[in-house]
Structure 1
Amino acid sequence: MEISYWIVAALLAVFYLYAGGKKVIQSQERLQPMMGWVDTVPMPLVRVIGVLEVLGAVGLILPPLTGIASWLAIAAAIGLVLIQIGGITVHLSRGEVRQIGLNIALLAAAAATAWLGTTWL
């Protein structure tokens, strides 16, 4: 189970460091082609989502790696589940049903990470 956790957590961390980092650093115009929803959400909220994604990525890796407050990894995974629920909600409200596939996959991976974390952390 521990190996499974590290594989899924590492993949999620890489994804969220990239996606969250883009939301934190890039302008609305640069994000628009890849993330159409940024035109309906205030940029400060986009930045907050990006920061939460980066913190979630760090939370999946650092606590179990250091052995300090390992329960934070489970909290980070649950936080990422909540972010994806919000993402699905935004896509559905915009009529973007085809866009939620990635959100569902990320939600499932984050939920699996939370569950795997409870088995050995």
Structure 2
Amino acid sequence: MNMLLWILAFALAAVFVGSGAAKLLTARDDQIQRTPYVEDFPHWMIRGIGVLEILGALGLVLPALSGVAPILVPLAAAGLAITMVFAALVHIRRGDGPKAALPSILLAICSVFVAWSRFGPFPV
């Protein structure tokens, strides 16, 4: 189970680094064209979400790898889960349909699983 949690944490970290980097490095007009929900929020907020996603991704793996403050792993996973719940709510509120909300819901479920496992039966 520990190996599964490591694989899941690295996979989640890769997804969130990619998503966060796209939010930070892509021009606003390109973001709106690719993901229309961006138009509903100020640019600073989208960039802030990108920073949070990258920090959360780092929090999923670095504390466990370094052995310094491993409690941050489940906290980061819980924070990313909360972020994804709100992302799903944004898509639902906008009427984007279940297809648009599904990735956020799946990421939230995976993040909750990592958080629960690392808080409880399989700590780092």
Superposed CA RMSD in Å reads 1.0
1:32 matches 2:32? yes
- Matched residues in 2 for 1:117 and 1:29: separation? 39
| 1:66-85 aligned within 5 A | 66-85=66-85
Specify the alignment match of 1:56 in structure 2: 56
User: Which among 116, 119, 123 is matched to residue 120 of structure 1?
Assistant: 123
Distance in 1 (CA, whole Å) between partners of 2:19 and 2:77 is 16
The residue that corresponds to 1:17 in the other structure is 17
**By how many angstroms is 1:2 displaced?**
1.5
Identity rate of aligned residues, in percent? 32
Q: Deviations over 1:47-87 (max 9, x none)?
A: 00000000000000000000100000111000101111110
Separation of aligned partners in 2, 1:33 and 1:82: 26
Which 5+ residue runs of structure 2 have no aligned equivalent?
none
TM-score normalised to structure 1 length = 0.95
CA distance, structure 2, for counterparts of residue 34 and residue 65 of structure 1: 34
TM score, norm. by length of structure 2: 0.93
Gaps of 5+ in 1: none
Structure 1 moving runs of 4+ over 4 Å: none
Choose between structure 1 and 2 for higher RCO, CA contacts under 8 A separated by at least 6 residues.
1
Q: How many residues align?
A: 121
Q: C-alpha displacement at 1:27, in angstroms?
A: 1.2
| Alignment partner, residue 89 of structure 1 | 89
Deviation for aligned residue 1:46: 0.1
Partners of 2:75 and 2:33 in 1: how far apart? 31
Give the Cα–Cα distance (whole angstroms) in 2 for the partners of residues 104 and 115 of structure 1: 16
